[in-house]
Structure 1
Amino acid sequence: MSHSVYVFDAYGTLFDVHAAVRKHAAAIGPNSTRLSAVWREKQLEYSWTRSLMGQYADFWELTREALDTAYNMVPDCDPSYKQTLLDAYWKLDTYPEVPEVLKALKEQGARLAILSNGSPAMLESAVQAAGMTDVFDEVFSVDPLRRFKPDPEIYDMVTTHFRIYPQACSFQSSNRWDIAGATKFGMRTVWINRAQAPEEYHDLTPTAVLTSLSGLIALG
């Protein structure tokens, strides 16, 4: 195995960020997909603006604020489901291939970790709900640094903890901007391009691009 540590972004990479709305789509209304998309967009936007301003609020607070904004921007969706959606976010579904891929990497002797903007409580809940408590060697939240990815110090948390050089770490994320940040830091990066989005950040290209985590084992 060429990489001793495999690090995964959580939301959008391991956990399906749209699962919460999808479960209640019929009741929420015909624009539920739009609601979910805006919720995610604003959640990320707020993390970047908070980091740039130096005014930190944890990811759960941003998630709640983003949902409020999403409902304001997509007003024909049923607001009575707001709390239901927030509750569901603590126990998001994993993508179908996730358990098998993580198990295979673990059996090959890799150390596994999560590196996420999520708050410690959010990540603990998500990992427990997915039955993956014993899978990960470490779950890193940005919370101790009070900044969000792609700040370089976030990625440094991993290499410092495991006492490895960046190139010994394989970093997987569905977020292209996250991959750009990890690439700049020096990690081997694998963009999980589930949405088949166009390439961006051409000066910070990933080592590989996959449509799901399934190809990660063959990649080595």
Structure 2
Amino acid sequence: MLDLNALRPQFEHAFGNGAALDEWFSLLLQYSMVVSLTDAYSDFGSIGKATLDMLADTKGIKLSAEDKKRILQGILTLPPHPDMVDSLERLRAAGFRMVTLTNSSPAAVKAQLENARLTEYFEESISVDSIHRFKPDLQVYRSAAEHLSAKPNKLRLIAAHAWDVFGAMQAGWHAAFVARQGIPLFPLAQKPDIVASDMKGVTDALLR
């Protein structure tokens, strides 16, 4: 939904290579899963800061306070992908109930949606903060279904992360995969019934 690539210039400035963004995001996901597995929960923002420090240490770089602030604040002001607003308009007009299910804290997702001007499209935002588990832990999807008073097979996750799609489907949800930049699905997982290169394609499939 939000374009993480908007942070690439900040990583280029801080690390001398925009590809450091991808390394950092992989670390962030890795350690969010680690804290879930070890019952050592910290919020996503804290893990983001800690893994940013880890990456800098690995590369022998001392990040300035300003560099850290630009990156971490940048997460809260990510722009939506260009296809999002029109797609959300179409889905809302068709009567779909829409919520967000995010690893971000409630305060962070509130800021992200407000800054991206997407708040109006969602009935509510569900954060993993309430159960101290990160996606793709199955408890996240099960808890969200219970919160929405919905059977899992009546819910559909739309995501651009293969691990998120995998988790939702393992919990009994339907899913739609947005294969942005040609990112593949996990070959050992069940394939969702909707796969498209962008959100427009997913929306077209849902409205057929």
Q: Provide the TM-score with structure 1 as the length reference.
A: 0.85
Identify, as 1 or 2, the structure richer in helix.
2
Q: Percent identity?
A: 25
Distance in 2, Cα, partners of 1:67 & 1:37: 11
Question: Residues 56 and 27 (structure 1 numbering): CA distance in 2 closer, same or farther, change over 3 Å?
Answer: closer
Counterpart of 1:136 (choices 101, 122, 131) is 122
* Residue aligning to 1:109: 95
Q: Which residue of 2 aligns with 1:161?
A: 147
Task: For CA contacts below 8 A with separation 6 or more, give which structure has more relative contact order.
Answer: 1
Q: Distance in 2 between matches of 1:173 and 1:63?
A: 20
Length-normalised TM-score, structure 2: 0.90
Amino acid at match of 2:160: S
Q: Measure, in 1, the Cα distance between the counterparts of 2:110 and 2:119.
A: 8
Of the structure 1 ranges 149-158 and 201-210, higher mean CA displacement relative to structure 2 is found in: 201-210
* RMSD, aligned CA: 1.9
2:5 is the alignment partner of 1:18:
yes
DSSP 3-state at the match of 1:41:
helix
Instruction: Please list every run of 5 or more consecutive structure 1 residues that lacks an aligned counterpart in the other structure.
Output: 1-13
Q: Does 1:36 align with 2:13?
A: no
Aligned 8 A contact 1:167 1:187 in 2: yes
With 192-201 and 96-105 compared, the bigger mean Cα shift is at 192-201
- The answer (yes or no) to whether the contact 1:91–1:129 under 8 Å persists in 2 is yes
For 1:26 and 1:148, locate their aligned partners in 2 and report how far apart those are by CA, in whole Å: 28
Alignment size in residue pairs:
205
Q: Pick closer, same or farther for the CA change 1:149–1:202 going to 2, 3 Å.
A: same
Q: Distance in 2 between matches of 1:34 and 1:70?
A: 12
In structure 2, runs of 5+ residues without a counterpart are none
In the superposition, relative to structure 1, how do residues 26 and 44 fare at CA in structure 2: closer, same or farther (>3 Å)?
A: closer
